[in-house]
Amino acid sequence: MVQQQLLLLLPHPHHLLTAAATVAQFPRRRAKFLTLPLRCTGAPMDANPTTAIYPLHRCKTIYLVRHAQGIHNVEGEKDHSAYMSPQLFDAHLTPLGWNQVDCLHEHVKKSGLAQKVELVITSPLLRTMQTAVGVFGGENSVDGVSAPPLMVENAGHSSRPAISSLNCPPFLAVEACREHLIENDEDVLWEPNVREANSSVAARGMKFIDWLWTREEKEIAIVSHSGFLYHTLSMYSRECHPTIREEVGKHFANCELRSMVLVDTSMLGSDSPSYNYPGMIPAGLDLPSDAAP
């Protein structure tokens, strides 16, 4: 598989495509229908460009979500070492966490995001899967309606009704976007106090982003974990303006959602543009605009 060169499209010192020109660079044309004097100045366009342009069909929108509050968060706030507890490894959501899920679900519906998301990718841990189906899933299952539930009633100590798969995007649990790994390639547990290094988490996150680009969907939601999101985004924002780097590098709150644009800078392939139209030069005596006096 060809390695893609991807970035999150943020205000960035190395712009993808920039253009700046003064008025003097454009040919003068006779304005036949102007009755007022037209004053032009090239001063503002002489400044260094602060914007970037990139073809839409070479971009994706991703919606990054950290899971809602889990029981491990409650214990971890009391004693940080609790995050290493094997008993809390696959923690479920707290009642407060489910309230956070309900609030984000309403936001996603009211903002129109629910209609845009084509795929939901989630870490395979319980707290992320509960968050994913609670936020992006269908409404509660209805008797007499034949559709498999995304979550059965009371799943994971939730005391919640079943969540329907009606009118919602497909879901995919992916190992690559989980929290710090505690297993090696031989699927043998490491020592209890040893976790995946932060640099390895970031590298894994960037490979995961590369993989996202191979998907056909253009708008994808990802439900993951604080450490995974933080270390992955920190790698992408290293060369950003300090203000943007600080914004991107902040830790996610529980059930926080952030939108990012993913851009393929490798130019090695993309979908054909859906909205572009080639146009044509009309037949007849009309000259193309660049040949007009």
Amino acid present at 23: V
Instruction: Give the Cα separation of 91 and 97 in Å (integer).
Output: 11
225 is catalytic: no
* Range from 18-22, 134-138, 140-144, 162-166 that averages highest in pLDDT: 134-138
Q: What is the pLDDT of residue 133?
A: 96
Architecture of domain 60-264: 3-Layer(aba) Sandwich (3.40)
Q: What is the pLDDT of residue 107?
A: 98
Burial class (CB within 10 angstroms; exposed 0-12, middle 13-18, buried 19+) of 152: middle
Which of 67, 92, 180, 225 is catalytic? The answer is 67
Which of 105, 179, 180, 225 is catalytic? The answer is 179
Closest listed residue to residue 61, CA positions, set 237, 222, 197: 222
pLDDT tens, residue by residue, 32-70: 333 344 444 555 655 566 777 888 888 999 999 999 999
Instruction: Find the farthest-apart pair of alpha carbons in the chain and give their distance in angstroms, rounded.
Output: 82
Q: What is the mean pLDDT of residues 135-140?
A: 85
67 is catalytic: yes
Q: What is the mean pLDDT of residues 71-92?
A: 86
Of 292 and 281, the structure prediction assigns the larger pLDDT to 281
3 state SS of 219? strand
pTM of the model: 0.75
